[in-house]
Amino acid sequence: MAKRVAVILSGCGVYDGTEVHEASAILVHLSRAGAKVQMFAPNADQMHVVNHCEGKPTEEKRNILQESARIARGEVTDLAKLDVSAFDAAIIPGGFGVAKNLSDWAVKNKDCAVQPNVEKVIKDFHKAGKPLGMCCIAPILAGKILPGCELTVGQDKECDKWPYAQTAGALKDLGCKHVNKDVEEVHVDAKNKLVTTSAFMCNAPIHKVYDGIGVMVKETLKLA
């Protein structure tokens, strides 16, 4: 029987929403695996809107759900309506929207709060023993909500290849076990049914990011 997977988006665009290439890779790999996908996003305003040509915030306001519809080709549902019993797994792509719209990690780092509907969904999937897949910066959500979990955001030593490695240190400070992995690898926390991969936390060729996400999707579905 086809696995039913909820994909949780945070807008559209790397600097203020979902990383589009990561979302697309997740959807392609899920499609190839024969999974049935439904996309969700919070029905709330983004933290801010960023001009992606300049990398600077604008005065514009945008809605997370409406922006996520750009990726979902219109087929996206308010996250508040997600019924965990209707799904076998959930996957969350990265992008700064995770740290700005699904939480306020971008402002408060490890002292952040997770958006209430996001927190509820993660806790409900975990309590039901259903797997969670997360890539790029998204594992910070698990780090806040699942104390002591094992995860990866890539490497813990900053360099040109790994410009966001300080995130691993913040996750360790939260009591998580961070496992160093390359971009094409994943870490599977079997106890918590949590599968994570670094994706664009790494300055890597896009095909390597795509392949790593493919492993994450495969391992997530294996646990479902």
Q: Name the residue with tokens 């019924």.
A: 83
- Could you give the number of structural domains in the chain? 1
- Residue 64's contacts (CB-CB under 8 Å, 6 or more residues apart) are 9, 10, 11, 17, 41, 42, 43, 44, 45, 46, 97, 101
**CA atoms of 78 and 24, how far apart (whole Å):** 20
Q: What is the predicted pLDDT for the residue at 90?
A: 99
Structure tokens that stand for 147 in this block = 């104390």
Give backbone dihedrals phi and psi of 154, rounded to 5 degrees, phi first: 110, -110
∠ CA(98), CA(102), CA(108), 5° rounding? 80
Known catalytic residue: 135? no
Angle, CA of 103, 165 and 27, to the nearest 5°? 60
- CA 194-153-82 angle, to 5 degrees, is 45
Structural domain harbouring 19: 4-223
Measure the CA–CA gap between 9 and 69, rounded to whole angstroms: 9
Please give the structure tokens belonging to residue 88.
């076998």
| Tokens 């219109």 -> residue | 74
pLDDT tens-place values along the chain, 224 residues long:
899 999 999 999 999 999 999 999 999 999 999 999 999 999 999 999 999 999 999 999 999 999 999 999 999 999 999 999 999 999 999 999 999 999 999 999 999 999 999 999 999 999 999 999 999 999 999 999 999 999 999 999 999 999 999 999 999 999 999 999 999 999 999 999 999 999 999 999 999 999 999 999 999 999 99
Element spanning 8, H or E: strand 4-8
- What is the chain's alpha carbon radius of gyration, rounded to the nearest angstrom? 16
41 burial (CB, 10 Å; 0-12 / 13-18 / 19+) is buried
pLDDT of residue 1: 87
- The catalytic position among 12, 135, 136, 149 is 136
3-state secondary structure of 89: strand
Interatomic CA distance for residues 131 and 90, integer angstroms = 7
CB atoms within 10 A of CB 215: 17
Are 35 and 16 within 8 A, CB to CB?
Answer: no
CATH of the domain at 152: 3.40.50.880
pLDDT for 75: 98
